[in-house]
């Protein structure tokens, strides 16, 4: 009992300080986002808390009325949905086949596909920049719909391969014995059970899209076509006096829901990730 | 054999092709493989092709210049600095990340009250869009209103006019960039470690407990060796994500502070040359210097995958 107690205490002692340091910038974000602007430029008022005229929604109002923020949100949502659609269409069948039908070759091929996920944007942005100039897709969000699956498909295929391996093969065998075709088994038995896995892939692929900066920044310049991150960076920070309050609101709005989803689906993500690697 | 053939309904030959395992497998895998080859292999080949030309964003089809771009960069002091910075950036951040993530993940596998919220806080830097959370850092590193300097001054550690300029003094700027990247990548390594710990069978721990191993003994002789493979995976990912990262450095310092390019990385140098100055050929050549790093890591991963398959 006391040993268990000590172990728990040790956990808090390790995790607590790390949690404070890692989350600190987000705390600063929240305080600045809802703080009156003259207050955060006043060294007499502690930066750790609000002054007399805060919390306020002035910064939120500024962001939504005086910037293209809603356009950036919409652009990001459109690109995200298109990319997730393309990703699922390619990765679900491939992940299933690699896990179930292709045997040892499937395992090696799976690792091969996954390795392409490691080829970074910084190696590919120049050739993509070249291609996008050739096909005149500069400054269009469709350039990103074209390019983003280059990393979401390998990532999603690997995860799905892991998920499909965790589904007992007996279920499919039973369906096949009952006279279902292979394709029928896929559609009526395998896909419904793998829905949680597919949902996990949807969330993580979408968050990869929202997170991406280099391509989005390189391919698109006009504010009304921009994605979230480059939009905020280019239009709100480069002025003489950045609108820090509005910038923090802009950062919080996508970060919090994404982080909540991320944590909720983390255990499933881990199951898929290791399912592909260690079986 | 004949009976089976007779039982097969007519006019459904096309459907029946998919009953053959190999055919179905190929049909399901092929689109993804072709797509990945076209979207990753294609551009990679194109990058190699471009690096031998003097193409610019104005003249997409440049002239063949052979190894000139590589030779020029090899003797360019700016490039030399970029390589050295990338090396420092990668090594220092990965050492901290590995130790930190190992500790955190190990502690997080125990059940305790408030675990969910602590895990949430720890994973925030990785889950939130990086370019946006960098805005908070830019504000925290502000020359006049930095919360860090406010704290230092109020704790009487610094006089108001002597506070550090986090992004403007060369050595400190490098430290800031490394610190922020470490902050960002640490939660990712925690995730990988958690995945690794989840794959250690519970029986191993139970067996160790039955054999009377105490907490530390168990950690040293059971958990740590079993964590070694996952630490390798975390490290390999970490190296790739760090050496090839551009967002952190570009947004925080743009390779500055000027005039000495004191935080310039291979990636930002390639970006400035290839995209901002429009010299696509030289830019491609610079980014290709990252390819050997990538190749070594990929081979290590493949070897690792094969080993864990056999085990």
Check if B32 contacts A (Cβ < 8 Å).
yes
Containing H/E element for B138? helix B130-140
Beta carbons of B112 and A47 less than 8 Å apart: no
Considering the domain boundaries, does residue A121 fall inside one? yes
Query: CA triplet B197, B202, B207: central angle to 5 degrees?
Result: 120
Write out pLDDT tens, residues A172-198.
888 888 888 888 888 888 888 888 889
What is the percentage of chain B residues whose pLDDT exceeds 90?
46
Highest mean predicted confidence (pLDDT) among A97-106, B59-68, B96-105: B96-105
How far is the C-alpha of B226 from the C-alpha of A176, rounded, in Å? 39
Task: Assign B6 a pLDDT band (cuts: 50, 70, 90).
Answer: very low
Among positive and negative, which fits the CA dihedral A184, A186, A187, A188?
Answer: positive
* Per-residue model confidence (pLDDT) at position A188: 83
State how far the Cα of B241 lies from the Cα of B253, in Å rounded to an integer: 19
Q: How confident is residue B190, by pLDDT bands cut at 50, 70 and 90?
A: very high
Angle at A195 between CA A194 and CA A201, to 5 degrees: 95
Residues of A in contact with B182 (CB under 8 A): none
- Does B39 score more than 80 pLDDT? yes
Top-confidence residue, A84 or B23 = A84
Residues A48 and A131 in one domain: no
- A115 and A246 in one domain? yes
Shared-domain flag, residues A150 and A271: yes
pLDDT at A46 over 70: yes
Q: At what angle are helices B115-127 and A244-264 packed, to 10 degrees? A: 120
Give the pLDDT of residue B16. Answer: 66
Cβ contact (<8 Å) for A90 and B35? yes
Find the helix or strand (DSSP H, E) in which B21 lies: helix B21-36
Q: Does residue A141 register a pLDDT over 50?
A: yes
The CATH number linked to A179 is: 1.10.3720.10
Asked if the model's pLDDT at residue B7 lies above 70, the reply is no
Segment B41-52 mean pLDDT: 92
Give a yes or no: residue A110 inside a domain.
Answer: yes
Say how many residues make up chain A: 279
Q: Is A99 on the interface with B (CB under 8 A)?
A: no
Count interface pairs A-B at CB distance under 8 A.
305
Q: Is the domain of A146 the same as that of A233?
A: yes
- Identify the three-state secondary structure at position A79: helix
- Quick one: pLDDT at residue A253? 95
Domains detected in chain B: 77-310 (1.10.3720.10)
At residue B5 the predicted structure's pLDDT band, cuts being 50, 70 and 90, is very low
Residue A237 near residue A122 (C-beta atoms within 8 A): no
Flag whether pLDDT at B252 surpasses 70. Answer: yes
pLDDT at B138 > cutoff 90? yes
Q: What is the mean pLDDT of residues B217-226?
A: 74
Determine, for residues B140 and A122 on separate chains, whether the beta-carbon distance falls below 8 Å: no
More confident site: B224 or B143: B143
B299 part of contact set with chain A, CB < 8 Å: no
Q: Is the model more confident about B6 or about A38? A: A38
A115 and A16 within one domain: no
Most confidently modeled of A261-270, B220-229, B293-302? A261-270
Q: Best interface-test mutation with A: which of B37, B136, B272, B301 has the largest number of A CBs within 10 A?
A: B136
CB contact under 8 A, A183 and B18: yes
Tell me what ipTM this predicted complex has.
Answer: 0.89
B75 touches chain A (CB under 8 A): no
* Residues 6+ positions from A255 with CB-CB distance below 8 Å: A26, A29, B124, B127, B128, B129, B132, B133
**Over residues B214-243, mean pLDDT:** 80
Whether residues A117 and A17 fall in one domain: no
Same domain, A215 and A91: yes
Give the number of domains in chain A. Answer: 2
Instruction: Give this prediction's pTM.
Output: 0.88
Task: Report the pLDDT value the prediction gives residue B311, as an integer from 0 to 100.
Answer: 42
| Beta carbons of B305 and A277 less than 8 Å apart | yes
Measure in Å the smallest separation between the Cα of A232 and chain B Cα atoms: 8
Cross-chain Cβ contact B133/A210 below 8 Å: no
Per the model's pLDDT, the better-predicted residue between A210 and B293 turns out to be A210
Is A32 inside any structural domain? yes
Cβ proximity of B121 and A17 under 8 Å: no
Residue at A81 is within a domain: yes
If asked whether residues A84 and A135 sit together in one domain, one would say yes
CA–CA separation, B303 and B295 (whole Å)? 12
**How high is the mean pLDDT of chain B?**
85
Average pLDDT estimate for B237-242 = 90
- A61 inside domain: no
Record: contact B297-A128, CB cut-off 8 A:
no
Is the bond preceding A55 in cis, omega lying within 30 degrees of 0?
yes
Domain shared by A43 and A142, yes or no: no
Whole-number pLDDT of residue B91: 94
pLDDT band at residue A276 using 50, 70 and 90 as cut-offs: low
pLDDT of residue B13: 53
Looking at the DSSP assignment, which residues form a beta bridge with residue B64? B53
| Residue A24 and residue A112 share a domain | no
Residue B20, pLDDT above cutoff 50? yes
Provide, as residue numbers in chain B, all residues whose Cβ is less than 8 Å from the Cβ of A247.
135, 139
pLDDT at A239: 64
Q: For the beta carbon of residue A56, count every other beta carbon within 10 angstroms.
A: 16
Per DSSP, the three-state class of B103 is helix
Q: Specify whether A114 is located in the same domain as A243.
A: yes
Q: Is the pLDDT of residue A21 over 80?
A: yes
pLDDT tens readout for residues B153-189:
999 998 888 899 999 888 899 999 999 999 999 999 9
Is the confidence at residue A278, as pLDDT, over 70?
A: no
Contact B100/B106 with Cβ under 8 angstroms?
Answer: no
Q: B231 falls in which pLDDT band (50, 70, 90)?
A: confident
Percent of chain B scoring above 70 in pLDDT: 90
**Is residue A62 a part of any domain in this protein?**
no
Read off the tokens for A181.
């075709």
Give the pLDDT confidence score for residue B295 in this predicted structure: 87
A177 CA to chain B: closest CA distance, Å? Answer: 13
Domain check: are A87 and A173 in the same one? yes
Query: How far is Cα A27 from Cα A137, in angstroms, rounded to an integer?
Result: 39
Q: State mean pLDDT over A43-47.
A: 87
Q: Average pLDDT of chain A? A: 88
Q: Is the pLDDT of residue B143 over 90?
A: no
pLDDT at res. B310:
47
Contact B289, B73 (CB under 8 A): yes
Tell me the residue range of the domain where A185 lies.
Answer: 67-277
pLDDT score recorded for residue A174: 85
Distance from CA of A141 to the nearest CA of B (A): 17
Structure confidence at residue B15 (pLDDT): 59
């Amino acid at each position: 009992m006391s040993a268990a107690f000590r172990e728990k205490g040790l956990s808090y002692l390790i995790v607590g300080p790390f949690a404070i340091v890692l989350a600190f910038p987000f705390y600063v974000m929240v305080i600045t986002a809802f703080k009156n602007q003259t207050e955060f430029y006043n060294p007499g008022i502690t930066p750790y808390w609000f002054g007399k005229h805060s919390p306020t929604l002035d910064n939120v109002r500024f962001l939504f009325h005086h910037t293209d923020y809603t356009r950036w949100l919409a652009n990001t949502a459109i690109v995200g949905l298109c990319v997730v659609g393309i990703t699922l269409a390619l990765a679900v069948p491939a992940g299933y086949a690699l896990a179930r039908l292709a045997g040892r070759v499937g395992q090696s091929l799976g690792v091969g596909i996954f390795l392409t996920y490691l080829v970074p944007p910084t190696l590919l942005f120049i050739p993509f920049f070249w291609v996008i100039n050739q096909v005149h897709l500069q400054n269009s969000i469709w350039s990103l719909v074209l390019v983003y699956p280059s990393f979401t498909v390998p990532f999603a295929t690997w995860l799905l391969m892991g998920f499909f391996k965790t589904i007992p093969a007996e279920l499919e065998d039973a369906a096949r014995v009952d006279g279902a075709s292979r394709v029928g088994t896929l559609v009526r038995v395998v896909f419904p059970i793998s829905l949680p896995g597919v949902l996990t892939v949807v969330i993580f692929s979408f968050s990869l899209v929202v997170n991406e900066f280099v391509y989005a920044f390189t391919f698109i310049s006009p504010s009304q076509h921009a994605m979230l991150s480059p939009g905020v960076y280019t239009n709100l920070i480069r002025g003489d006096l950045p609108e820090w309050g509005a910038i923090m609101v802009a950062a919080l709005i996508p970060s919090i829901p994404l982080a909540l989803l991320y944590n909720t689906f983390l255990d499933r993500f881990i199951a898929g990730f290791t399912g592909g690697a260690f079986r | 054999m004949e009976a089976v053939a007779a039982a097969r309904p007519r006019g459904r030959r096309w459907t029946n092709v998919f009953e053959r395992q190999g055919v179905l497998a190929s049909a399901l895998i092929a689109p993804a493989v072709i797509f990945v080859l076209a979207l990753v292999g294609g551009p990679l080949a194109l990058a190699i092709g471009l690096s031998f030309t003097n193409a610019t964003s104005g003249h997409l089809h440049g002239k063949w210049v052979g190894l000139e771009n590589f030779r020029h960069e090899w003797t360019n002091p700016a490039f030399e600095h970029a390589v050295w910075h990338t090396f420092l950036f990668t090594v220092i951040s990965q050492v901290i990340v590995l130790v930190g993530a190992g500790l955190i993940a190990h502690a997080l596998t125990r059940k305790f009250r408030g675990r969910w919220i602590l895990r949430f806080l720890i994973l925030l830097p990785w889950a939130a869009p990086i370019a946006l959370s960098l805005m908070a850092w830019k504000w925290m590193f502000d020359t006049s209103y930095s919360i860090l300097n406010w704290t230092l001054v109020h704790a009487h550690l610094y006089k108001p006019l002597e506070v550090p300029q986090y992004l403007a003094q060369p050595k400190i700027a490098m430290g800031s960039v490394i610190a922020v990247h470490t902050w960002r990548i640490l939660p990712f390594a925690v995730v990988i470690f958690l995945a690794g710990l989840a794959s250690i069978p519970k029986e191993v721990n139970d067996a160790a407990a039955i054999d009377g191993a105490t907490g530390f003994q168990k950690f040293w002789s059971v958990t740590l060796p079993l964590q070694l493979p996952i630490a390798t995976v975390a490290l390999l990912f970490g190296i790739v994500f760090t050496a090839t990262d551009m967002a952190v450095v570009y947004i925080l310092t743009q390779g500055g502070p000027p005039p000495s390019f004191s935080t310039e990385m291979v990636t930002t140098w390639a970006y400035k040359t290839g995209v901002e100055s429009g010299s696509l050929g030289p830019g491609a050549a610079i980014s290709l210097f990252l390819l050997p790093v990538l190749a070594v890591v990929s081979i290590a991963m493949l070897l690792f995958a094969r080993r864990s398959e056999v085990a």
